[in-house]
C-alpha cells in the first residue's frame, strides 16, 4: 500500500508514473491537468495530436469524463470492465483538450490490474496513460524494458515484471449506431460482438493503412517499430529462411517453426496468447541480435490474430513473398552488400 501511496502522491503533484496494466505498461499523469499531460507528451516525444487514453477505476470515474453515454453502453461496460476495452465517447469539459489531442471525444478504459486500479483510486483522479515507450517504438510489456528506455524521463517507475496480455486494449468508436473497431487488442472482436452486436472492422484497424486523423492512439502514426528493419512473410517462406541456417538474419516465429530453425530465431511461443504476450519483447530482442534484418511470421486474423497482425503490419517495412525476395534484401552473407542491420523505414 505504501507503494500505491507514493505513486498517487506523484500523480497528485502533477508528475508522471509508469505503471503496469494487464495489457502493457502505461505512462500516466493526471488526466484532468493539461500541464501534467503535457509532461507525458514530452517524455515520449509524442505528437500533440495523438490522444491519450484515460484510465478510470470505477463507473463513477467513467461518468466523470464521459458526457451522456448511452445507457446500453454503460450496461455493457459493467459486464466488460475492468478489462482490455477502450471506448471513444464525447468528453466532458473537465477533460482538457491537451489530453485528447484537441478532439471533443475521449478514449476511456478501466484496466484489469490491481495496482493500476489502486493507483487511480488513491490518486483521486482519472489517469491519462499511453504505452510507456518513446514514440514509434515497441510498446513496453516488462518493467525492465521501461527502466531501460524511460529512466530519467519520468518521476516514478513501478518494477512489477511482465504484464499478462501483451498487446494494448481494443478500442471501439461508440459515437454512432454501429460500433467501429479503431484498434484491435486484448478483447477479440468475436467476443465483443456478443455484447455490442456487429462491429465494423476498418482497414485502419487491420493495420492496412494509417488514418489522416488520430481519434485515438494507433491510428495516424507509425507505431511499434524496432530499430532493425523487419519484414513479414508467410509460414512457408519463414520455414525456408530457417533452413538456410544464416545467422545474419533473425526469424521471429511460433514455437513449432522455431523448434527446427537453423537460422537465428526468436520463439513467440505455442499459442496465440503466447504470441501476443511475447510480440513486443521479440521486436526489442531483434535489436540486440546484430542482424541485417528480421523476418516475422504472418498469422491468421481470427481472435487475437487481428491485434497481432495490426502490430506486425505497423512495425514492419513490408512483406516478402519468397525466399529469393527475402535474401535479396540482405545480400549474400556477412561480406555482402549492407554489412550490418538495415536501418530506417
For residue 248, the domain's CATH number is 3.40.50.11030
Judge whether residue 62 has pLDDT over 80. yes
Over residues 20-35, the mean pLDDT reads 98
Instruction: Check residue 207 and give its pLDDT.
Output: 81
Q: Tell me which of 169, 190, 206 is where a domain ends.
A: 206
For the chain, the domain total comes to 2
Judge whether residue 193 has pLDDT over 60. yes
- Reported pTM: 0.93
Q: Tell me which of 206, 240, 260 is where a domain ends.
A: 206
Q: Is residue 234 part of a domain?
A: yes
Q: Which residue has the cell 514509434?
A: 136
* 32 and 97 co-located in one domain: yes
* 259 and 186 co-located in one domain: no
Judge whether residue 338 has pLDDT over 70. no
Over residues 95-121, the mean pLDDT reads 97
Over residues 177-205, the mean pLDDT reads 94
Cβ burial, residue 226 (10 Å; 0-12/13-18/19+): buried
* 161 and 268 co-located in one domain: no
Over residues 60-89, the mean pLDDT reads 96
Give the mean pLDDT of the chain.
93
Q: At what angle do helices 272-286 and 305-315 cross, to 10 degrees?
A: 10
* 66 and 119 co-located in one domain: yes
Q: Which residue has the cell 532493425?
A: 228
**Short-list 162, 120, 118, CA closest to 1:** 118
| DSSP class per residue in 45-74 | T--TTSPPEEE-SSHHHHHHHBSS--HHHH
* 174 and 281 co-located in one domain: no
Judge whether residue 337 has pLDDT over 60. no
CA distance to 111, 113, 153, 226, per residue, from 51 (Å): 18, 22, 19, 22
Q: Is residue 339 part of a domain?
A: no
* 240 and 185 co-located in one domain: no
- Burial code (b: 16+ CB inside 10 Å, e: under 16) for 127-159 equals bbbbbbbbbbbbbbbbbebbeebbeebbbbbbe
Q: Is residue 220 part of a domain?
A: no
Instruction: Considering only the C-alpha atoms of the chain, give the largest distance between any 2 of them, rounded to a whole number of Å.
Output: 65
**Short-list 153, 189, 149, CA closest to 280:** 149
Q: Is residue 312 part of a domain?
A: yes
Question: Alpha-carbon torsion 120, 60, 205, 100, what sign?
Answer: negative
Instruction: Check residue 232 and give its pLDDT.
Output: 97
pLDDT tens for each residue of 153-163:
999 999 999 99
Residue list for the binding site for L-threonine = 23, 55, 109, 129, 169
* 170 and 262 co-located in one domain: no
* 125 and 273 co-located in one domain: no
What torsion, rounded to 10 degrees, do the Cα atoms 272, 178, 222, 288 define? Answer: -10
* 73 and 167 co-located in one domain: yes
CB 136 within 8 A of CB 247: no
Residue list for the binding site = 23, 46, 50, 55, 109, 129, 131, 139, 169, 183, 224
User: How does residue 341 score in pLDDT terms, banded at 50, 70 and 90?
Assistant: very low
Judge whether residue 345 has pLDDT over 70. no
Residue list for the binding site for ATP = 46, 50, 131, 139, 183, 224
Q: Is residue 30 part of a domain?
A: yes
Instruction: Check residue 331 and give its pLDDT.
Output: 83
152 φ/ψ sector (left φ>0, alpha ψ -120 to 50, else beta)? left
Dihedral pair phi/psi, residue 34, rounded to 5°? -60, -40
CA distance to 217, 260, 321, per residue, from 314 (Å): 13, 28, 18
Q: Which of 47-56, 196-205, 210-219, 322-331 has the lowest mean pLDDT?
A: 210-219
CATH number for the domain spanning 18: value is: 3.90.870.10
Q: Tell me which of 150, 172, 206 is where a domain ends.
A: 206
Q: Is residue 221 part of a domain?
A: no
Within the chain, strands assigned E span: 17-20, 25-30, 53-55, 85-90, 105-109, 127-128, 156-157, 170-173, 180-183, 200-201, 230-233, 249-253, 264-267, 293-297
Structural domain containing residue 116: 2-206
* 85 and 150 co-located in one domain: yes
pLDDT tens for each residue of 272-291:
999 999 999 999 999 999 99
* 108 and 198 co-located in one domain: yes
Instruction: Check residue 214 and give its pLDDT.
Output: 61
pLDDT tens for each residue of 215-248:
677 665 667 889 999 999 999 999 999 999 999 9
Amino acid at each position: 500500500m505504501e507503494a500505491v501511496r507514493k505513486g498517487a502522491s506523484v500523480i497528485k503533484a502533477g508528475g508522471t508514473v509508469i505503471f503496469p496494466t494487464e495489457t502493457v505498461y502505461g505512462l500516466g499523469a493526471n488526466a484532468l491537468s493539461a500541464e501534467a499531460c503535457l509532461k507525458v507528451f514530452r517524455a515520449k516525444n509524442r505528437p500533440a495530436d495523438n490522444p491519450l487514453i484515460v484510465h478510470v477505476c470505477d463507473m463513477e470515474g467513467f461518468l466523470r469524463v464521459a458526457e451522456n453515454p448511452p445507457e446500453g453502453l454503460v450496461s455493457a461496460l459493467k459486464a466488460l470492465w475492468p478489462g482490455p476495452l477502450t471506448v471513444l465517447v464525447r468528453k466532458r469539459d473537465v477533460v482538457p483538450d491537451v489530453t485528447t489531442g484537441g478532439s471533443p471525444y475521449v478514449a476511456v478504459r478501466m484496466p484489469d490490474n490491481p495496482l493500476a486500479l489502486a493507483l487511480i483510486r488513491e490518486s483521486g483522479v482519472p489517469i491519462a496513460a499511453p504505452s510507456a515507450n518513446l514514440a514509434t517504438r515497441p510498446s513496453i510489456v516488462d518493467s525492465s524494458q521501461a527502466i531501460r528506455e524511460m529512466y530519467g524521463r519520468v518521476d516514478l517507475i513501478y518494477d512489477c515484471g511482465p504484464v499478462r496480455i501483451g498487446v494494448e486494449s481494443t478500442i471501439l468508436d461508440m459515437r454512432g449506431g454501429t460500433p467501429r473497431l479503431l484498434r484491435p487488442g486484448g478483447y477479440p472482436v468475436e467476443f465483443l460482438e456478443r455484447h455490442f452486436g456487429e462491429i465494423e472492422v476498418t482497414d485502419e484497424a487491420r493495420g492496412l493503412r494509417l488514418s489522416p486523423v488520430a481519434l485515438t492512439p494507433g491510428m495516424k502514426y507509425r507505431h511499434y517499430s524496432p530499430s532493425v528493419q523487419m519484414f513479414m512473410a508467410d509460414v512457408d517462406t519463414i520455414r525456408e529462411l530457417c533452413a538456410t541456417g544464416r545467422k545474419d538474419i533473425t526469424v521471429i516465429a511460433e514455437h513449432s517453426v522455431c523448434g527446427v530453425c537453423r537460422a537465428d530465431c526468436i520463439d513467440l511461443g505455442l499459442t496465440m496468447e503466447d504470441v501476443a504476450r511475447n510480440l513486443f519483447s521479440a521486436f526489442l530482442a531483434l535489436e540486440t541480435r546484430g542482424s541485417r534484418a528480421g523476418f516475422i511470421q504472418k498469422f491468421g486474423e481470427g481472435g487475437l490474430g487481428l491485434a497481432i497482425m495490426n502490430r506486425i503490419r505497423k512495425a514492419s517495412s513490408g512483406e516478402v513473398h519468397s525466399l529469393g525476395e527475402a535474401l535479396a534484401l540482405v545480400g549474400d552473407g556477412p561480406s555482402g552488400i549492407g554489412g550490418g542491420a538495415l536501418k530506417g523505414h
